[in-house]
Copies of this chain bind each other. A is one copy, B any other.
C-alpha cells in the first residue's frame, strides 16, 4: 500500500493493459499517425520511457493493437447466429463492413502496409485465423477458392471505399441498407 498521502504509486499496477486501452482509444480518435508514445505515456500518467518496459518499439505496440483488432473481428464473426450457408455468408459480409465502419482506424491498422513490412509473424497468424472461417463458409457454397476470393474482395473493397469516404453517401441513404443492397448485387 502507498503512504496515506495520495502520492502516485511508483509502480503503476498494470501498465501494459492501461497502455493498450489508452492506445485503442487514442487510435480511434486521432488515427495511427496521431498515436505518439509520449502522448500515450502522458495520458496514462507515466514517464515517456515507461512504455518501453512493455513494448520493444512503437511498431511493436501497433502490432499488438492490430492483433487485438483481429481477435475482436474474429469474435464478432464467430458470434453470428445464421445457419444456412447463404444466410451465414451474407451476414458475415454485412458484419465485416460494419466492423470496419465502427472501428475505422483499428481496421486500417489491421491492414496497414507498414506492419507487414517487418517480420511480425504474430500479425499474419492473427489475420489468417480471422479469415479462415470466412474462406471456409464462402468457399463451400458454390465454387471453391475463386468464388471465395471474389466474395472476400467485394466485401473488403466495400469496407475500404466506405471508410475512405470514396463512396458518397447521399442525403436519403440508409448506409446499412445500402451495404446489404450492394453486397447482394451480382453485377
**Which one of A42-50, A71-79, A149-157 is at the interface?**
A149-157
Bound Cα distance from A187 to B127, whole angstroms: 23
Bound Cα distance from A127 to B168, whole angstroms: 12
- Indicate if A26 sits at the interface (CB-CB under 8 A): no
User: B181 and A146: CB pair below 8 A?
Assistant: yes
Number of interface residues of A (CB under 8 A): 42
- Indicate if A164 sits at the interface (CB-CB under 8 A): yes
Minimum distance in angstroms from A134 CB to a CB of chain B: 11
Q: Which residues of B contact A31 (CB under 8 A)?
A: 113-114, 117
- Indicate if A125 sits at the interface (CB-CB under 8 A): no
Bound Cα distance from A146 to B141, whole angstroms: 24
Minimum distance in angstroms from A37 CB to a CB of chain B: 16
Q: Which of B117, B138, B166, B187 contacts A142 (CB 8 A)?
A: B187
Which residues of A, 79-121, contact B by the 8 Å Cβ criterion? 105, 108, 111, 113-114, 116-117
Chain A interfacial positions (CB closer than 8 Å to B): 31, 33, 105, 108, 111, 113-114, 116-117, 127, 131, 138, 141-143, 146-147, 149-161, 163-167, 178, 181-183, 185-187
